[in-house]
C-alpha cells in the first residue's frame, strides 16, 4: 500500500544519509535535511508559495526520478467512464524515469488536484492499462508513461494538477503544480 512506499523510501533515504555521514566523518546538521536537500530546494527559481510552477512538456528532476507531464486536458469522459453532472475529469499523461539507482515503489497517490479552498482531490482507480496503477515498482532506469485521471467539481476555482515529493519525515518536500484551466 501507500504506507509501504513511504517506509521503503524512508529506509532508502536513511541508508543513503548514513553512508554520506559515514564518508564525511560527522555532521552538525540538525534540521532533518541533508545539504543536498537544501541545495535542491534552492535550485527552483520559479518556486511560488512552496510550489514549482510546472510547464507541460518540461522534464523535472526529483530525488528519486525524473518526470514530464506530456499533456494535461479536461474532459467529461475517459475510456468507458463518464463524469456525473457538475463534474469533469483532468487527464494527465505523465512519463516517469527512475534515476535513483535502485528500484523504487510508485503509484497514483502522489498526484492530486487542488483548487482554491479545496483539499486534495485524489485520482480515480485505474480502469485500464493506460492508467497509472495504484502502486507498482519502478526498476532502476526504467521509464513508463501512464495517464492519471482525477474527477473534480466543474466550479473548482484555480485548479492545479500537483505532484508532491515526500521526504523521510513524511512532510512535503518538493511540490510541482500545473495549471489545469
Q: Do the Cβ atoms of 148 and 123 come closer than 8 Å?
A: yes
* Averaged pLDDT for residues 125-141: 96
**Residue 165 pLDDT grade (very low, low, confident, very high; cuts 50, 70, 90):** confident
Q: Which one is predicted more confidently, 10 or 75?
A: 75
What is the pTM for the complete model shown?
0.71
Average of per-residue pLDDT values in the chain: 78
Euclidean distance between CA atoms 52 and 56, whole angstroms: 12
Indicate left, alpha or beta for 155 from its phi (over 0: left) and psi (-120 to 50: alpha). alpha
pLDDT of the residue at 174: 78
For the domain spanning 2-179, the CATH number is: 2.60.40.1240
Query: Which residues partner with 87 through β-bridges?
Result: 153
Does residue 41 sit in helix, strand or coil?
Answer: helix
pLDDT tens track for 20-60: 333 333 323 232 322 233 434 444 445 555 678 999 999 99
Half-sphere exposure of 105 (CA within 13 A, CB side): 17
Q: What is the pLDDT of residue 3?
A: 53
In 3D space, the residue among 37, 38, 72, 43 whose CA is nearest the CA of residue 60 turns out to be: 43
User: Ramachandran region of residue 49, left (φ > 0), alpha (ψ -120 to 50) or beta?
Assistant: left
Cβ-contact 157, 33 below 8 angstroms: no
**127-134 contacts, C-beta under 8 A, 24 or more apart:** 127/78, 127/79, 127/80, 127/81, 128/79, 130/79, 132/94, 132/107, 132/108, 133/107, 133/108, 134/107, 134/108, 134/109
Q: What cell numbers appear for 76 in the block?
A: 467529461
Amino acid at each position: 500500500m501507500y504506507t509501504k512506499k513511504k517506509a521503503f523510501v524512508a529506509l532508502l533515504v536513511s541508508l543513503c544519509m548514513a553512508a554520506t555521514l559515514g564518508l564525511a566523518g560527522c555532521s552538525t546538521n540538525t534540521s532533518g535535511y541533508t545539504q543536498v536537500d537544501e541545495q535542491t530546494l534552492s535550485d527552483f527559481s520559479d518556486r511560488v508559495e512552496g510550489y514549482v510552477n510546472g510547464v507541460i512538456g518540461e522534464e523535472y528532476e526529483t530525488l528519486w526520478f525524473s518526470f514530464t507531464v506530456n499533456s494535461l486536458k479536461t474532459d467529461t469522459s475517459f475510456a468507458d467512464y463518464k463524469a456525473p453532472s457538475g463534474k469533469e475529469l483532468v487527464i494527465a499523461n505523465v512519463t516517469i524515469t527512475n534515476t535513483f539507482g535502485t528500484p523504487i515503489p510508485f503509484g497514483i497517490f502522489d498526484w492530486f488536484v487542488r483548487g482554491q479552498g479545496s483539499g486534495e482531490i485524489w485520482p480515480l482507480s485505474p480502469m485500464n492499462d493506460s492508467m497509472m496503477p495504484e502502486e507498482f515498482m519502478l526498476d532502476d532506469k526504467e521509464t513508463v508513461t501512464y495517464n492519471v485521471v482525477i474527477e473534480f467539481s466543474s466550479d473548482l476555482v484555480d485548479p492545479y494538477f500537483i505532484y508532491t515529493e515526500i521526504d523521510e519525515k513524511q512532510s512535503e518536500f518538493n511540490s510541482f503544480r500545473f495549471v489545469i484551466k
